[in-house]
Amino acid sequence: MIDNEIEERVKTLASYIIETGCTVRGAATKFNVSKSTVHKDISERLEKINPTLWKEAKQILEKNKEERHIRGGMATKIKYERKKA
């Protein structure tokens, strides 16, 4: 059985990810927990607590995972543009 406090955190994290479309890293920073905690909460715990919410959150995390190479490339581009200036 999952502790009520953990269950609330899981639901809050999922809602935040769904509303904002943020990454695991963004959610971890916002709620002051580790990326591992966010990932476990969404991937494992949420599925048992609320399968509907889990499907929505999982879709967003999958989309973010598919796009991460693009964000990484943009971050590198910005880094070197700042060095030039």
What is the per-residue pLDDT across 34-77, written as a single tens digit (0 to 9) for each?
A: 999 999 999 999 999 999 999 999 999 999 888 777 777 877 88
pLDDT at 18 over 70: yes
Q: State the DSSP string of 22-76.
A: --HHHHHHHHT--HHHHHHIIIIIHHHH-HHHHHHHHHHHHHHHHHHHHHHHHHH
pLDDT at 9 over 70: yes
pLDDT at 1 over 70: no
Residue 10: what pLDDT?
95
Q: How confident is the model at residue 82 (pLDDT cuts 50, 70, 90)?
A: confident
